[in-house]
Structure 1
Amino acid sequence: MKGDFISSQGGAQPYLFPRKARPRVESISVGHTLLTAMASADPSETLTCPNCQNSSADTDTCEHNFCWVCIDCMLDKQRGVRTQHQCRAEERRGQQVGSHDSGVQQVGSHDGSGGITCTYCVHSPVPAVRSCVMCEASLCDTHLSVHSRSPEHPLIEPTTALRNRKCAVHKKILEYYCSADRACVCVSCILFGDHRGHRVETLNVVSERKKKRLKNDLKKLNSRSEETAKKIQTLQGQRRDGQERASEVSGRVSAIFRDIRRRLDAMENTVLSHISQQDEQLALSLSTLVQQLELHRNELFRRAGYLEELWNKVDPLLVIQEQESEREDFCDLEEGAADTHQIYHLDQGLMAVTLHTGLQDIMVAARKGLDLQGAGDILLDVDTAGNDIHISSDLRGASWSHVQQNYPEKPGRFQYDQVLSTRSFSSGRHFWEVETSESGVWFVGMCYPSIDRRGRQSWIGDNNKSWCLRRYDNVQYTVIHDSKWLQLPHNVSCPHLGIYLDYEAGQLTFYELRDPIRLLHTFTTTFTQPLHLAFSVYKAWVRVQD
């Protein structure tokens, strides 16, 4: 009765059922796919086999509807018998794309655009809408409508990699998470596998907990992203403001240089005019002198001719009787002209004074154009000087002294070798040039008048009320503020320093006044009190240039 019975391959003793009875099939192993059948449906209902797409009443209604032709083909293959049926599933499997990649079986195929297609649609690719983890198959809308909805057949988004959702050891769906090994496991792994006795949780619980953490992380990232966006906007705004300020300053500087060129041209014309006038005056004086000398020379020629004629006479009486030649002043003829050595010198003093005053006017105009104030009346306050520091008579220089100066006690006097300027600055832009010694240690900078005058905290830079540049034995520069020391990479190359203060902008800058001028460092802050120039010296000296 070959072909009249269906045999179950799962047990030790085969079970035989009459084919026409269409029994409930417990399990049929087909390759890697497990086909779990349900009870038979209404015999009068026409169903479609998802394996070969045959539409026939000769199908078995289960979780998957397979026609008996396909079932017979599968059973014949398992028995090693060549099938006599024309099963369209063979054609489908020939067209199906399936491969193993890193141990993961790929179920379903791709259409030309890279999408996932239904595993059971043979003749033309139909996009899959879901994939079944249990069946390791992808289904279109049609096959999904007849697919099992039981929890044993979880449906997910279409994918070609389904075997990684099953345990590699027990071939069961991964439903739990082992915290000890940080791995997804199946029920068998927990009951009698390598994860027996481990603490496990359902995937949903672990997933929700991770999602909460991800939500918090996402919130943090979004917050940081917003902060970064604000910083970008701030920087872009600063860039625009900087461009506007640069354009404004460029315009002012161009105007200053135009004015300087105009003034220089005018000064050049003035000096050249002085030279031309002096040259004309010298030429006139020289012409007058030449005329006088020519007249004098003619008189000399006349007298010389008279004497020569008298000398040539033979008659002694005539020579003796000539009285004019015997005058004492006959040869002492006055020239009546100035000293020629003083006539050819130009008045260079006038040119020097003109240039000096003109250049001063140009500097004053340039400073006004830049709102820049110079040293001017900068003097050092002797009443703040420590007893180890000597102040020059013009109150512009400070030097370290081996001898105590014995200054009278004053409330504002420093305990150590430091001194402040008499004048303070609470607005505007200012520039000072300072000359320094090439040996010893000196500090130059600015500080508030409220700086301590005694103790270690009174040192310039070792508090939050002062900013300074320090140099040691012509070796290296260091900038100091609030006891924070920063060594600069610049090599010392010049004893002349420039100090620039822009009070409103909160900038204090130090330069080396070499050629070209070199920026050393800029402090940027918000000034809250007036500022004094401050100096400290040890075996060294500093001087504010006029």
Structure 2
Amino acid sequence: MASASLGEELECSICLSLYTDPVTLRCGHNFCRGCIDQVLNTQDRAGVYSCPECREEFQERPTLQKNITLCNVVENFLSTHACQLRRDALNYCTYCIHSPVPAVRSCLLCEASLCDNHLRAHSKSPEHVLTDPSTSLEKRKCSVHKKILEYYCTEDAACICVSCCLIGEHRGHKMESLDEASEKKKKKKLRNILQKLITKRTKIEERVWSVQERERKAQEKASREAERVTSLFIDIRRRLDDLEKRVLSKISRQEEQLSLSDVIQKLEIKKDELSRKMRHFEELCNMADPLTVLQDPDTGDLCDPEEGGSDEDTGGHDGGEEDTGGHDGGYQGLELILHISQTLNHMIKNATIFVQDPADILLDINTAYDNLLISNDLKTATWIVGNQNHPENPERFQDYPQVMNSRSFSTGRHYWDVEIIGSCWWRVGMCYPSIDRSGRESHIGNDNKSWCLYRGLFNYSSVIHDNEVIRLPDNISSNRVRICLDYEAGRLSFYELCDPIRHLHTFTATFTEPLHAVLCVLGGSLKIERRTVGYSSRWSYS
């Protein structure tokens, strides 16, 4: 018993076999090096590594340290039990008691195993049935009559002996030989099952290849788009820099050519002179002595100021606009600014930024799966262990933990936010009311009547429609997401509510039915946000 208990303690929790080259993680758990390597390889894409035993997460791939002490314990255990294991694995002659000799045949009547020497001396009578060497001869005899099992009862589906046929409880039943029954009942079915399994595996391999090919094409397309956007912004920055340099250079040249300080000074002097003359002439106008007026030197050559006015003193500057000679450069700069504005407007339009109030989403308890608990305010769906015994309803989902909302959307633009509480496996999205309520296609995303955002184990994130899975390049780290619908434009978009808000994916379709919001959760809760959460206006277009 102690040996069996020790053997269980020396088993790897992944392969359930004795440790092979045991290594230790930082959390203290031990695994075979090959087993933990395979697990970590599957976690490479997620970028987050965790212990299969305690789920402790590591930001970087953990370094595997060989557990020398455990390795020595396993080797000692194997060496101690090697002889017993070898003897259990081989069948030795029953009569060679002084030194074990491997058996070549076993006699069912004698219940003994025979080597070559004892086989030659063994009885050749028909009742002594010889078989391949076996250590479980008792299983080949009838438990009631202790005779060899030679027949198969088709009515009771049991292997029986001669006595069972003649005087036992199987008397009068239809019998077949063991070889015939094995061929008809078991081997034929096994061949059919094997062929089906081979066909199924081939289809799965083809599908794996198809999904990998779609993933490769999607990654190539995303890479091309990223390069295109990067090139566009590099060109925009270059054009803006050039325009800024040209405009600043032109302003500098104009500033050098146009010096208004001298003009202002001359105009001030002229204004003072005119003011002095005005006061003198006003005094002359008020004088009563005509002789003084006629003999005044300033009245010798009177003329209309409008006729004799001149801007010689101001150098031809009258305070109006200057001819910069830069109309062509200004037009080109304006054309570039308009082009940049149109490009940015197009990108903002494609980003589907919603500014209206959030849609009022209330969950329909008549559609809720039996293991979903719907809150009193119809805003939260929680997975629980144990049925809720909801009343039967043809609208209820039967096979997946899903619930729809009661309101449908057939026009306009709407959005709603979801908070994920304690769940690492969930789906959120929208569907037509005609979606199946049972079967595989009732799971949102698995048919052409629904669209969803999905996060699975190891934070695997993707979007699904018509059973086509599109892996997201970056995993979802926030516990809040947003779903945006533009019904007339045929756009359904998903965002991660982080800072800045990150666009995840946009489906485009021609909607033919009203749409309902759908939640699907396992091991936690999904909550409809009651209010708009304040996030930065900076948007990330990915």
Higher alpha-carbon Rg: 1
Q: TM-score, normalised to structure 1's length? A: 0.43
Q: TM-score, normalised to structure 2's length? A: 0.43
Higher RCO (CA-CA < 8 Å; seq separation 6+): 2
The structure where strand makes up a greater share of residues is: 1
